């Protein structure tokens, strides 16, 4: 890999030891899965919210877990990844078939069910905590690529309870902006710490969608968001570069805002508050590092060329140019003094008044 050859990543092959779960295999999730597959990720879990569990997967080299419940439609063809002949197939099934042809070394575990239902939520939690490359170990990262707040809050709830690091992503309804966000339970703000208005006001999302009108979608915007999401995943897993806690994208102005948010101590999610307390204890247990103040090195104190700095003002001239030092309390000194004014003797010259007018004087000057 180029990253290894350029010295950016010391051990790129380590990518094969990670398991990543992708929830939502739509415009962003499908492209994200393809990029990770081409990068050689260990295991991909794709959960398309409908129950379709394949044969148990034994531990192997690479692994991706995919979750989604939707089916491929011809209306999806304005996006990347899916093809017309896959219409009618579940998105996870179609994605697994395409991805396996791209990189057969990657292990795929697909789930075709809705994670927001009570019966499926428990199974979703189980696969997150036990679906790692080594069965019984948790996945290394969960990626949210869903298109609704209910699913985002479900993922947030599960990851807060498990202490699972995850990344959230999304594209706006006008299709010209998007974002990614890294959420580490207890360390950074979770999705419930500063919820969107729809979530905070407990509004049913279904009532906001107009019949016959769907959100705009552009493969360009979705490709950009998927790209920065996977880039952040690689930096996080392989420990290189700066991992963004929040990175936005505004296509109208080519603007990429970035920021980080601290967790809300009054978060409505009790598991988030619990994770915050555990993080504080972890930080308090770390050894304190003493700050050693280094003395500034004197440059050119002595030099082999014998160069010296000489003042052009003598000590006597400096003393004479200084004013009296005021009487100040102990410990207070002045940076400089105001020199006393010296009264210079100026000879006064008086001119006798001849009584002549200005016109007379001008006439004399002309005759000279």
What's this model's pTM, rounded to 2 decimal places?
A: 0.69
Burial of residue 291 (CB within 10 Å: 0-12, 13-18, 19+) is exposed
Output the CATH code of domain 1-44+59-284.
3.40.50.720
Mean pLDDT along residues 258-274: 92
126 conformational bin, left if phi > 0, alpha if psi -120 to 50, beta if neither: alpha
Q: What is the domain partition of the chain in residue ranges?
A: 1-44+59-284
Write out pLDDT tens, residues 101-118.
888 888 888 899 999 999
Q: Where in the sequence numbering do the catalytic residues fall?
A: 214
Query: DSSP of 314-363, one letter per residue?
Result: -HHHHHHTS-PPP---TT---S--PPPPP---------------HHHHHH
Write out pLDDT tens, residues 8-33.
777 788 888 899 999 998 889 999 99
Q: How confident is the model at residue 350 (pLDDT cuts 50, 70, 90)?
A: low
Closest CA to 106 of 78, 66, 49, 70: 66
Q: Is the dihedral of CA 28, 29, 35, 41 positive or negative?
A: positive
Write out pLDDT tens, residues 165-190.
999 998 888 888 899 999 999 999 99
Specify the higher pLDDT residue, 254 or 56.
254
Residue labelled with tokens 């963004």: 244
Residue 214 is predicted with a pLDDT of: 52
Percent of the chain, pLDDT > 90? 33
């Amino acid at each position: 890999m180029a990253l290894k050859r350029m010295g950016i990543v010391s051990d790129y092959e380590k990518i094969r030891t990670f398991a990543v779960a992708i929830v939502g295999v739509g415009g962003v999730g499908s492209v994200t899965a393809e990029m990770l597959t081409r990068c050689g990720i260990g295991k991909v879990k794709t959960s398309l919210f409908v129950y379709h569990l394949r044969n148990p997967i034994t531990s192997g080299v690479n692994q991706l877990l995919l979750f989604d419940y939707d089916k491929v439609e011809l209306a999806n063809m304005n996006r990347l990844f899916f093809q017309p002949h896959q219409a009618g197939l579940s998105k996870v099934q179609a994605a697994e078939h395409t991805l396996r042809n791209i990189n057969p070394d990657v292990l795929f575990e697909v789930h075709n069910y809705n994670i927001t239902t009570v019966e499926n939520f428990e199974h979703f939690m189980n696969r997150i905590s036990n679906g790692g490359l080594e069965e019984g170990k948790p996945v290394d990262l969960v990626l949210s690529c869903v298109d609704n707040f209910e699913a985002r809050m479900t993922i947030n709830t599960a990851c807060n309870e498990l202490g699972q690091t995850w990344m959230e992503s999304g594209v706006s309804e006008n299709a010209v902006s998007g974002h990614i966000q890294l959420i580490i339970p207890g360390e950074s703000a979770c999705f419930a710490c500063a919820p969107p208005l729809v979530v905070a006001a407990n509004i049913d999302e279904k009532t906001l969608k107009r019949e016959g009108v769907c959100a705009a979608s552009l493969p360009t915007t979705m490709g950009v968001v998927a790209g920065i999401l996977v880039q952040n995943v690689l930096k996080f897993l392989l420990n290189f570069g700066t991992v963004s806690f929040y990175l936005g994208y505004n296509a109208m102005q080519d603007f990429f805002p970035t920021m980080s948010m601290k967790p809300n101590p009054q978060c409505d999610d009790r598991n988030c508050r619990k994770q915050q307390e555990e993080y504080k204890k972890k930080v308090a247990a770390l050894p304190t590092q003493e700050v050693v103040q280094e003395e500034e090195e004197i440059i050119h104190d002595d030099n082999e060329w014998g160069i010296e700095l000489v003042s052009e003002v003598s000590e006597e001239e400096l003393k004479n140019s200084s004013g009296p030092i005021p009487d100040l309390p102990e410990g207070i000194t002045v940076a400089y003094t105001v020199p006393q004014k010296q009264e210079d003797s100026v000879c006064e010259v008086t001119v006798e008044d001849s009584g002549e007018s200005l016109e007379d004087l001008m006439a004399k000057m002309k005759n000279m």
